[in-house]
């Protein structure tokens, strides 16, 4: 702890008398930011990238900002209490790192108009409450192209956390990207119904391997289990959010990384200027939020050139993976030729494209 007057007073008061109640007193010119995440922040994964985003805030504002990280907070009544507590303690900028914090966060936003809240992967908005997310599907499309160039069995696999639109779109784009290189590619999916469950993730990866899958997409896991299992089996794998290359030095296909720093900085700037406005932010490659990196050197040069080309079009907005014709699992044409799906259709996607062999849980 830094030994300033406030902390010294607090510590000595509480320690010496034990019943004296230290009053949370924050210097007015320091912005207190709380980041609440559902899993341990650890060294990799979703929560880790959010934490990195707040590090950029600290780097810019220095001692004018204080970030409190609250990790491993289960969604539900406890999370609501903890959010209330952060505001009571003087935090006026909150970053809520999970969908399940939505209702509690929204109530809090309404009760405290002076507080600005960013909420990950939700769909509700309030004047001081902004949902945010990343267009992972842009990156997974490119990963699909790379995977198609390396697979021998023409069977790709995906371990998915929850069958929600965000993950479904990633899998569909991955499949479409692979089919753009080789139309015969098939993708099977295993849902583990958890964001953080190393044992189930490992089992799911093994189940895919036993089906002859030779590239695995670790879709929204906060642990390197899938990546490690694939490396041991000599099979390529990639994941989202932050690089796990150290866990799979040979067979790491790459990462669809997210950088929240630009968005967090922009939101905090707006909050400090008093111009924060609740609005949905679905961030893309053009926003420098979705980044593909750590490509495996085994990818053939002609595919690398193709990927670079498509990536440029994704960044400029000239190309969307969800441009027709797209056939769904039943074989029916879901998106007509020449039509590009709008954001609302992508955000609520509840169907798989043809080539994904596993039916969607209903």
Q: Which residues bind other proteins (CB under 8 A)?
A: 1, 7, 10-15, 18-19, 21-22, 24, 34, 40, 68, 70-78, 80-82, 85-86, 89, 99-100, 103, 123, 162-165, 168, 193, 347-348, 350, 361-362
Smallest gap from residue 12 Cβ to other proteins (A):
7
Smaller CB distance to other proteins: residue 165 or 324? 165
Smallest gap from residue 154 Cβ to other proteins (A):
29
Rounded Cα distance, 165 and 349, in Å: 5
Smallest gap from residue 91 Cβ to other proteins (A):
8
Smaller CB distance to other proteins: residue 79 or 146? 79
Smaller CB distance to other proteins: residue 149 or 221? 221
Smaller CB distance to other proteins: residue 266 or 348? 348
Smaller CB distance to other proteins: residue 119 or 251? 119
Rounded Cα distance, 49 and 236, in Å: 23
| Residue whose pair of structure tokens reads 């590619």 in the numeric block | 185
Smaller CB distance to other proteins: residue 195 or 236? 195
Smaller CB distance to other proteins: residue 309 or 343? 343
Smallest gap from residue 67 Cβ to other proteins (A):
10
Which own/partner pairs from 102-106 qualify as long-range (CB within 8 Å, at least 24 positions apart)? 102/131, 104/79, 104/80, 105/129
Smallest gap from residue 43 Cβ to other proteins (A):
14
Smaller CB distance to other proteins: residue 68 or 180? 68
Smallest gap from residue 89 Cβ to other proteins (A):
6
Smaller CB distance to other proteins: residue 87 or 261? 87
Q: Which residues pair with 191 in a beta bridge?
A: 160
At a CB cut-off of 8 Å and minimum separation 6, what does 334 contact? 326, 327, 328, 351, 353
Smallest gap from residue 78 Cβ to other proteins (A):
6
């Amino acid at each position: 702890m830094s030994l300033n007057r406030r902390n010294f007073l607090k510590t000595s008061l509480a320690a010496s008398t034990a019943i004296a109640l230290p009053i949370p007193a924050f210097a007015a010119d320091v912005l207190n930011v709380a980041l609440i995440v559902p899993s341990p922040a650890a060294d990799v994964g979703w929560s880790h990238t959010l934490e990195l985003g707040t590090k950029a805030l600290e780097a810019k504002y220095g001692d004018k900002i204080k970030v409190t990280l609250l990790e491993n907070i289960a969604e539900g009544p406890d999370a609501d209490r903890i959010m209330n507590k952060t505001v009571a303690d003087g935090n006026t900028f909150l970053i809520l790192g999970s969908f399940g914090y939505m209702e509690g966060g929204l109530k809090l936003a309404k009760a405290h108009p002076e507080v600005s809240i960013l909420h990950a992967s939700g769909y509700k908005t309030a004047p001081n409450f902004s949902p945010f997310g990343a267009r992972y599907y842009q990156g997974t499309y490119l990963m699909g192209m790379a995977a198609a160039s390396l697979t021998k069995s023409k069977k790709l696999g995906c371990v998915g956390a929850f069958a929600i639109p965000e993950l479904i779109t990633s899998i569909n784009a991955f499949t479409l990207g692979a089919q753009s290189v080789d139309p015969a590619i098939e993708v099977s999916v295993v849902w583990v119904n958890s964001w953080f469950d190393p044992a189930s993730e490992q089992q799911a990866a093994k189940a895919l391997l036993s089906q002859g899958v030779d590239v695995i997409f670790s879709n929204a896991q906060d642990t390197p289990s899938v990546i490690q299992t694939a490396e041991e089996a000599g099979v390529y794998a990639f994941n989202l959010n932050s690089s796990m290359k150290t866990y799979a030095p040979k067979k790491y296909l790459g990462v669809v990384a997210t950088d929240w720093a630009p968005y967090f900085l922009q939101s905090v700037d707006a909050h400090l200027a008093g111009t924060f406005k609740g609005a949905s932010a679905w961030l893309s490659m053009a926003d420098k939020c979705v980044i593909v990196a750590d490509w495996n050197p085994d990818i053939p040069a002609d595919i690398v050139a193709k990927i670079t080309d498509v990536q440029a079009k994704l960044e400029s907005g000239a190309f969307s993976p969800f441009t027709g014709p797209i056939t769904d699992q039943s074989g029916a044409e879901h998106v007509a030729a020449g039509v590009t799906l709008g954001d609302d259709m992508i955000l609520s996607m509840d169907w798989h494209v043809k080539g994904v062999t596993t039916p969607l849980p209903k």
